[in-house]
């Protein structure tokens, strides 16, 4: 039976679907909510608007320009790798995982590269607008990544009798993330759980393929 989509087409479809959903959610949140405004969905799920300069789940490491440049380089490498494994007809599930990681990485790059120019600042008293007359809140490559999903599944205080942390407030799960982060996490988790052996196999396979290409050019 003929497949509805080739592996390459499926990969492209996943990337575009994740990007569209991710950007729709971010733009809706950015242009309709105040900074740090929250909407309660349930006791353990909130839409909580925040922004960060760093990587997934709000981690802030190194400088902003470095992070944006690093993301772009990483995306280039993932695209190259994805093209190679599609060409070599790897398992569809493995390609789906890599496609999810790629889509998530591109989604956050869009924020970093463009959002500082196309939106004005979000504050406690001002909701951002798209393409404001006075210009954006920053320059190219210095935009902030929009996060909104917050799951405080456990929100309590440690028992007073516990050493060091007794009486302190404890939240699990405290990171605030976006749809792109979720795509990356799902891709990595599925990769490690179901396709970890293919990582090593693909490395050796690609290495052999590169050597053959060099030999062919030398001939």
DSSP H or E segment with residue 155: strand 154-157
- Summarised one tens digit per residue, pLDDT across range 10-36 is 999 999 999 999 999 999 999 999 999
Considering the entire predicted model, what is its pTM? 0.85
- Residue 214 belongs to some domain of the structure: no
- Summarised one tens digit per residue, pLDDT across range 75-86 is 999 999 999 999
Catalytic positions, please?
147, 181
- Summarised one tens digit per residue, pLDDT across range 25-69 is 999 999 999 999 999 999 999 999 999 886 554 455 566 788 888
- Residue 213 belongs to some domain of the structure: no
Domain boundaries, position 125: 7-157+166-208
- Residue 97 belongs to some domain of the structure: yes
What are the Cα distances from residue 55, in Å, to 6, 82, 109, 169, 179?
Answer: 32, 22, 10, 25, 13
The confidence band for 4, taking pLDDT boundaries of 50, 70 and 90, is confident
How many structural domains are present in the chain?
1
């Amino acid at each position: 039976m003929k497949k509805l989509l080739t592996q390459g087409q499926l990969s492209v479809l996943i990337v575009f679907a994740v990007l569209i959903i991710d950007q729709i959610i971010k733009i809706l949140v950015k242009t309709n909510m105040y900074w740090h405004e929250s909407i309660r969905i349930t006791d353990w799920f909130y839409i909580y608007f925040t922004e960060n300069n760093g990587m997934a789940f709000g981690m802030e490491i190194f400088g902003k320009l470095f992070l944006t440049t690093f993301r772009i380089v990483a995306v280039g490498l993932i695209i190259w790798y994805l093209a190679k494994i599609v060409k070599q007809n790897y398992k569809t599930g493995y390609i789906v995982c890599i496609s999810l990681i790629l889509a998530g990485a591109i989604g956050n790059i869009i924020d970093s590269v463009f959002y500082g120019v196309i939106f004005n600042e979000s504050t406690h008293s001002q909701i951002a607008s798209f393409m404001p007359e006075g210009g954006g809140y920053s320059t190219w490559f210095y935009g902030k990544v929009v996060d909104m999903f917050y799951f405080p599944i456990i929100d309590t205080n440690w028992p007073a009798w516990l050493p060091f942390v007794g009486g302190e407030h404890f939240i699990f799960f405290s990171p605030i993330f976006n749809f792109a982060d979720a795509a990356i996490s799902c891709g990595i988790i599925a990769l490690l759980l179901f396709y970890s052996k293919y990582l090593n196999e693909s490395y050796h396979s690609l290495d052999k393929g590169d050597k053959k290409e060099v030999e062919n050019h030398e001939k």
